[in-house]
Copies of this chain bind each other. A is one copy, B any other.
Amino acid sequence: MKIQFSKDTLQKAINALAKVSQNKTSSNLPGAIYITTKNGKVEMQANDYEIGIRITIDANIIEEGTIVLSTRYFQEWVRKTPTDTITLESNAETKQLLLSSESSQFNLITMNPDDFNLVEQIQDENHIDVDGEQFKQMIDLTNYAAASEEDRPIFTGALLEGEDKNLTMVATDTHRMAVKKITLDTPMPVAMRILIPTKTLAEVSRLLPTDQPTVVRIIWNRTNVVFLFDTIYLFSRLIEGQYPDYEKVIPSQFDSSAILNCRDFAGAVDRVSLLAKDASYNFIRYDWDEKEVTLSTQNAEIGMAKEEVLCEFKGTPFTISFNGRYIGDILRHSSGDRIHLYLKQNGPVVIRQDDNPNYTYVVTPVRTN
Contacts and interface: CB of A to CB of B under 8 A. Distances in A.
Interface of A: 70, 73, 76-77, 80-82, 96, 103-109, 267-268, 270-271, 274-275, 301-309
A23 B306 CA distance: 29
Identify the interface centre among A105, A267, A270: most chain B CB within 10 Å of its CB. Answer: A105
Given A267-B80, A271-B80, A73 B103 contact: no
Contacts of A81: 271
A228 to B, nearest CB: 34
Given A303-B106, A305-B107, A274 B70 contact: no
Given A96-B303, A267-B82, A302-B70, A77 B274 contact: yes
Contacts of A307: 103-105
A94 to B, nearest CB: 10
Contacts of A105: 304-307
B267 A108 contact: no
8 contacts: A73-B274, A77-B305, A80-B267, A96-B303, A104-B307, A105-B304, A106-B275, A109-B302
Contacts of A305: 77, 105-107
Contacts of A76: 274
Nearest to A81: B271
B80 A270 contact: yes
Contacts of A306: 104-107
